Amino acid sequence: MPLKKVQIPRRSLWPFNLALYQTPGMESLCIELQDRHGINVNVLLWALWLDQHGVPYRRDFYDRAQRTIHPWHSAVVVPLRRWRRRLPKGRFTLGLRRQVGKLELWAEKKELARLQRLTAEFERELLLQSLPASFDASSANKSYAREVLADCLDNYQVRLREVLVRRGDAAASALQRLQRPLPTSDGSGGADKI
């Protein structure tokens, strides 16, 4: 059976993330996942972008992306966020809070740009190697978003699915991948969750 060519989108992650983040319910869900479970929201949105475009799941690629962006995220993005949140609210600090917020947003854009470059590198690697020889059949039903949310409670997974349904057609392919059942340890299909 011929394998279809891997189609990794060339458009920027930034517009996709902005549109998805502005979906009703997504911002509050992302902040809650970030604050309560330590989820890197950029990684979650990137994972949804990959899943929506049918990028084949590869654990080595996911792990490499995590290792690459973690130092930047923990040394730059998180401290800027903490600093912005700790600044007192009021007219004397309003300008400073805005400037720190702009820096935080700039740092997140840099993180997304790195994730996009990693995706392009992954595409080149897939084209250079023999995909059938390196393809792991057990990864066929996995998704990047499911990997990001692996340790979260079921209610977050359900809420994410509800947000994606609200987005309509634009998130349809991502939603289909998220609805595939997880395999269980005995090899049968598991519950219908991310």
Q: What is the 3-state secondary structure (H, E, C) of 97-135?
A: HHHHHHHHHHHHHHHHHHHHHHHHHHHHHHHHCCHHHHC
pLDDT of 52 strictly over 50:
yes
What pLDDT is recorded for position 120? 84
Q: Provide mean pLDDT across the span 28-50.
A: 91
Range of the domain at 134: 13-178
- Tokens 């330590």 map to which residue? 38
Rounded to whole angstroms, the Cα distance separating 115 from 124 reads 14
Q: Is residue 5 part of a domain?
A: no
Report the domain count for the chain.
Answer: 1
pLDDT of 38 strictly over 50:
yes
What are the Cα distances from residue 82, in Å, to 26, 86, 89, 183?
A: 21, 6, 14, 38
Q: Is residue 194 part of a domain?
A: no
- Going by pLDDT thresholds of 50, 70 and 90, the confidence category of residue 50 is confident
Q: What is the pLDDT of residues 125-181, one digit of tens each?
A: 776 664 444 445 455 556 777 777 766 656 676 777 777 777 764 554 555 555 544
Q: Is residue 183 part of a domain?
A: no
- Going by pLDDT thresholds of 50, 70 and 90, the confidence category of residue 186 is very low
State if pTM tops 0.85: no
Q: Is residue 7 part of a domain?
A: no
Q: Is residue 113 part of a domain?
A: yes
pLDDT of 61 strictly over 70:
yes
Q: Lowest-pLDDT range, 40-44, 83-87, 126-130?
A: 126-130
Q: Is residue 184 part of a domain?
A: no
Q: Is residue 193 part of a domain?
A: no
- Going by pLDDT thresholds of 50, 70 and 90, the confidence category of residue 51 is confident
- Going by pLDDT thresholds of 50, 70 and 90, the confidence category of residue 184 is very low
Question: Is the Cβ–Cβ distance between 66 and 43 less than 8 Å?
Answer: yes
One-letter amino acid at 77 equals V
Q: Provide mean pLDDT across the span 15-25.
A: 88
Q: Is residue 187 part of a domain?
A: no
